[in-house]
Amino acid sequence: MNSKVFELNKLLSGLEDQGGYFIDFISTRAIQAGIIRLHPGEKDTQEPHSVDEVYYVIEGNGIIKLDGKDHQISQGTCIFVPAKADHSFHGNKQDLVIFYTLGSRS
């Protein structure tokens, strides 16, 4: 993949066009990155991943459940989720927009 610059508004527009709640915009052998937008009341259907993951809350607030325990999150929160950990976002009363990146799957 060549160098590239991504704009959040364009990514969110593409997300809306595809009708989902997340979009991967980088996917290489070494890294995967994307955006999640969870509307109020929308269910986060993620399952544990086989690699470590980092989330960064771009806008909104809510809760992330990590291994059965709820943690409040808001704009600016950074979250590390180790491989195979149960996790999901919920409890947001407005759109929750989150950047995520996953490490190598090798």
Q: Which residues, other chains included, contact 54 with Cβ-Cβ below 8 Å and sequence gap of 6+? A: 78, 79, 80, 81, 100, 101
pLDDT in tens, 58-69: 999 999 999 999
Alpha-carbon distance of 72 to 63, in angstroms, equals 5
Q: Where are the domains of the chain?
A: 8-102
pLDDT in tens, 31-43: 999 999 999 999 9
Q: What is the mean pLDDT of residues 74-101?
A: 96
pLDDT surpassing 70 at residue 45: yes
- Token code pair at residue 25: 């915009």
Q: What is the pLDDT of residue 2?
A: 84
Q: Give every strand in the sheet of 78-81, ordered side by side.
A: 22-27, 32-38, 96-102, 53-59, 78-81
Alpha-carbon distance of 95 to 5, in angstroms, equals 24
Superfamily for the 8-102 domain: Jelly Rolls (2.60.120.10)
Which carries the bigger pLDDT value, residue 84 or residue 104?
Answer: 84
